[in-house]
Structure 1
């Protein structure tokens, strides 16, 4: 399996249309510096050619190539309209 998805996250993604994009997003520190964190969005990417597409559990996963097979987990947190996906799992290499 390319990426683990919790039951809660799977249901959320399916309600949003069945597509999820997992990518690296830059985060800037308050005193300089930058770190890339894995994030998940319950939408298909604008440019799917930059992602590896995987069909899993009836969903279309678009995963950034550098995140494939990294032991990541997608889960859901929050309440009501404030629910959102998050990515957890093994630390990134490099």
Structure 2
């Protein structure tokens, strides 16, 4: 599989509709330079055709094609109603 999804994240995503997007998000340094950080959101992307679609245990994951073979892990953190997804595994320098 292109990404590992923890049991905790699978349960949480099912409650949120069963769809997640894993994409790169640019982060800029104060003195120039930057990195693209993998982030996850419990929603479908605006342009699904630009992502690799993976169906896994009743979930639909849209993964940025540059992240497909990066050995990522999707999990959830937080408590009560303040939980959110996170991706562990990669940051790409620019």
**Dislocated runs of 4+, deviation >6 Å:** none
Q: TM-score, normalised by structure 2?
A: 0.90
Q: SS state of the match for residue 35, structure 1?
A: strand
For 1:72 and 1:9, the matched residues in 2 are separated by: 13
- Unpaired runs of 5+ in structure 2? none
Root-mean-square deviation (CA), in Å? 1.7
Aligned residue for 1:20?
A: 20
For 1:92 and 1:28, the matched residues in 2 are separated by: 12
Pairing of 1:1-80 with structure 2 (within 5 A): 1-80=1-80
Aligned residue for 2:84?
A: 84
User: Is the contact made by 1:27 and 1:37 (CA closer than 8 Å) also made in structure 2?
Assistant: yes
Distance 1:82 1:32, change over 3 A: farther
- Unpaired runs of 5+ in structure 1? none
Q: Deviations over 1:5-40 (max 9, x none)?
A: 001111111111000100000012233321100011
For 1:93 and 1:69, the matched residues in 2 are separated by: 17
User: Is the contact made by 1:45 and 1:62 (CA closer than 8 Å) also made in structure 2?
Assistant: yes
For 1:82 and 1:31, the matched residues in 2 are separated by: 33
For 1:38 and 1:45, the matched residues in 2 are separated by: 14
Q: TM-score, normalised by structure 1?
A: 0.90
